Amino acid sequence: MNPPRAAWLFLMPALLVLGLFFVLPVLAALLLSFTDYDLYALADPRNLRFVALDNYWGLLQRPLFWSALGHTCYFVAVGVPLSMAASLGTALLLNSPLARGQAFFRTALFAPVVTTVVAVALIWRYLFNTKYGLVNEALAGFGIHPVDWLGDPHWAMPTIILFAVWKNFGYNMIILLAGLQAIPPELYEAARIDGASALRQFRHITLPMLRPTLLMVSILSVSGYFQLFAEPYVMTEGGPLQSTESVLYLMYDEGFKWWNLGSASAVAFLLFVVMFAVTALMLRLGRRGDAAEVQP
């Protein structure tokens, strides 16, 4: 057996699975989004009609789509920076030569990442309960009145953001920690000899050296945070007053509650377009920043 034929045999199972269960459905989703596939078409495909861009126009005129997109963007715009700050902060602490018991702390800080979203979202639902929750109880110690965390439309999304930060920061923490450890110690030594303060060392050595890693993890986080679904599904069911309904929540309801699969596919593609645009923009801005740094 010659290598090229062997190669295709080794590739075959994976390519078949990805082709049949991913590539084909994605292409089908694009076609589906140009049709009025609904409960009637599900019963009898002859009811299917081609509607061109009607699903997209319809969505762009629906306030519900815009509010779902708004909530999702809010979640991304606040959640990702907070999450990155927590990851970077804990990575810096773990990397400090003064820190003790790093292995233990690293494991403890990482633990939330491996847990099941549904299970830990339930914990948060109880901890943030208005009447019996430990969070309000602790705040009462500081004289703060009980907050209706998940029942007040203004507080529900911030509470979900806090939850997401708690659940996810450990992942980027590990990657950033590896990035920090890869910075040559000579750089810091030279800076110390020149009398640079810790803050200046951070700004002029740590941040520039960590830049590529920071850019990569923030792009990955942004695309992850755009896929908000399980958190509101468990913690608020999209409420109160639909204040935590995300784009994927809308897609799920549209597709699997109302069986408007055509329109739901259009929702999925619009989300894809938004995610693609935002991550491409970040990549471009990040690269331009690199180029600017090289110039004197």
Partner 1 sequence: MNRTARPWLAKAIINGLLLGSAALAVLPLLWMLSASLMAPGEASSLPPRLLPAHASLDNYRALFGQAGMGRYLLNSLLVAGAITLLSLACNVAAGYAFAKLRFGGRERLFRGLLGALLIPAQVAMLPLFLLLKYLGLVNSYAGVIAPGMATVFGIFLVRQYARSVPDELLEAARIDGAGELRIFMQIVLPLLRPIVATLAIFSFLTAWNDFMWPLIVLTGQEHYTLPIALASLSREHWQDTELMMAGSVVTVLPVLLLFLAMQRYYLAGLMLGSVKG
- From 4-12, 47-55, 65-73, 285-293, span contacting partner 1 (CB under 8 A): 4-12
Contact 252, 229 (CB under 8 A): yes
| Site membership for partner 1, residue 143 (CB under 8 A) | no
| Site membership for partner 1, residue 88 (CB under 8 A) | no
> What's the min distance (Å) between Cβ of 296 and partner 1?
27
| Site membership for partner 1, residue 142 (CB under 8 A) | no
Q: Which of residues 158-197 bind partner 1 (CB under 8 A)?
A: 166, 170-171, 174-175, 178, 197
> What's the min distance (Å) between Cβ of 70 and partner 1?
19
Q: Which of residues 248-287 bind partner 1 (CB under 8 A)?
A: 248, 251-252, 255-256, 261, 264-265, 268-269, 271-272, 275-276, 279
| Site membership for partner 1, residue 1 (CB under 8 A) | yes
> What's the min distance (Å) between Cβ of 139 and partner 1?
12
User: For residues 199 and 295, which CB has a smaller minimum distance to partner 1 in the complex?
Assistant: 199
> What's the min distance (Å) between Cβ of 66 and partner 1?
19
Size of the site for partner 1 (CB under 8 A): 94
> What's the min distance (Å) between Cβ of 288 and partner 1?
18
Q: Which residues contact 207 (CB under 8 A, 6 or more apart)?
A: 214
Among 43, 53, 64, 134, binds partner 1 (CB under 8 A): 134
User: For residues 291 and 295, which CB has a smaller minimum distance to partner 1 in the complex?
Assistant: 291
| Site membership for partner 1, residue 150 (CB under 8 A) | no
User: For residues 40 and 296, which CB has a smaller minimum distance to partner 1 in the complex?
Assistant: 40
Q: What is the Cα Rg of the chain in Å?
A: 24
The conformation of residue 97, written as its DSSP 8-state character, comes to T
- From 17-25, 54-62, 147-155, 202-210, span contacting partner 1 (CB under 8 A): 17-25
CA atoms within 13 A on the CB side of 68: 28
Among 66, 96, 204, 258, binds partner 1 (CB under 8 A): 96
